Amino acid sequence: MSSSPSPSSSSRWTSCLILLQVLNLAIAATQSADHVTEDHRYWLDLGREDILRALSEQRNTGIAKNVILFVGDGMGLSTVTAARIYGKTERGRLAFENFPNIGTLKTYSADKIVPDSCSTATALFSGIKANQKTSGVDYRVVVDDCEASLKPENTIDSMFVWAKEAGKSTGFVTTTRVTHATPSALYAHTSNRNWECEDKIPKNAAACKDIARQLVEDLPGRDINVIMGGGRQNLQSNVVGSDADPIDPWSCYSKDGRDLIADWTADKNVRNFKHRVVQNNEELAGVDHSEEFLLGVFANGHLKMEHERDQGPKGMPSLRNMTEAAIKNLMKNPDGFLLMVEGGLIDFAHHRGHAKQALSETMAFNDAIERALELTKAKASETLIIVTSDHSHPLVISGYADRSVPITGIAQNSKFDGVPYTTLLYGTGGPDNYKFFVNQSSVARENPALVNTDDINYAQQAAILTDEVAHEGSDVLVYATGPMAHLFHSVHEQTYVAHVISYASGIGPQSGRNDGHRSSISHHAKNRKF
């Protein structure tokens, strides 16, 4: 239940809103469709507008009946800034940049300064730090230690376990494989993120169950109401690839005869749950959202990026499409829901050194957030929406390019050798990014002005040659709106996100709020079958 402002604060809030509307009109009067006059009056008015907006904000201290956690994989601050400019919103903001509460998260893992995606996902979803390449286990489990991962005292519950105990529905959607690093931390306990199917598990670790089987056979995986993404080759054996849907060479490929999609369906039939499996745009669009369980597997590996996906009936859905379907399915639960949405291909594009692809995926991620805000508008006062990243990438915005130059363009010429360089660069990169060559016994750099740097497949130059662009260890931002969003206010451990979700929604380890929430969970929670 939200707190009510006092008469004096309510009056001040109303006055602020009126002044804000007047200032908006004044600023609009100085603008034309093509040009904004950025004179001193423009900046003074803009400053006043921001102050009034801050003064008008009211803290929502109510219960978060619904929680949506958006994770932009690899979406560091430089990626957000570049995407804002790329989306031609430099003066404006991306959807989540309008959220009133912002904090900073420290992303190191239990054993590394620079983390990977499953250790950080474990921190975000469980509130406990993990070692590199491990999911759903604590620091006592190191990579490949199957035996340690089987010990109950070393495994940890995710927020999905907490939500189910409170009678809430749960779901996740991702543009990666549903067994990939980030989503695996929601339901799996593994000492190696690569054990997505049996093909990658060594003989000395045969006692450990692969991630795909944990999703379908174990708790909390089999009770997740909505699952959408790729990864068919981990769920089914010997699947065949095509030009439109190739086999993913970066992932394992099941050969043990499994059909976990059929097993998922059989489990729901046995338990008398209404359910549906969808595998393309047409089938997803046909869902009536009365199902208690929805499984969408749209690709053998990761989904296609937004700029290349087939938008026709037999193609793959966008992150926006999947997010919309998930919310419509989950919001029918009277006790609320918990949804995780991952923009996973931001990271995929960065790893391969294609900055424009990463920016395009960030804008697609932003589209999904916009749709979530639209769908939950009527329940905004009871819906906590959090947007963050698991880690950053070494994308830098450098040089002194004019604001009229595209973010993917040339910054200026080097004052050392006279060769131009682009505004966007990488600290590390693969062979396509390492653009140095020997010229008359000296090292020279490729001239980017001789190619189209705005091409979607252009690989930005990198300083250090590695196999691919490596992760970066700087802090990331967290943006929040809704009940208890003001708890994000400073520099926090990455684990703090899970603890805020727990406290705000009255579930899990931080659920002990003095508002009677735990004792007032509706009778629906007590009588639900799932």
Q: Which residues are catalytic?
A: 117
**C-alpha distances out from residue 413 to 86, 398, 442, 447, 450, Å:** 22, 12, 19, 10, 13
The strand pair at 395-397 and 424-429 is best described as antiparallel
Counting Cβ atoms within 10 Å, is residue 485 exposed (0-12), middle (13-18) or buried (19+)?
buried
d(CA 151, CA 185): 17
Cβ neighbors of 28 (< 8 A, separation 6 or more) are: none
CB contact at 8 A, 234 and 184? no
CB contact at 8 A, 430 and 352? yes
Cβ neighbors of 206 (< 8 A, separation 6 or more) are: none
Which DSSP string do the residues of 351-376 spell out, in sequence order?
HTT-HHHHHHHHHHHHHHHHHHHHHT
Buried b (16+ CB within 10 A) or exposed e, 357-371: bbbbbbbbbbbbbeb
Buried b (16+ CB within 10 A) or exposed e, 146-158: bebbbeeebbbbb
Instruction: Respond yes or no on whether the N-terminal peptide bond of residue 220 is cis (omega within 30° of 0).
Output: yes
CB contact at 8 A, 468 and 460? no
Cβ neighbors of 8 (< 8 A, separation 6 or more) are: none
Closest C-alpha to 409, from 397, 392, 427: 397
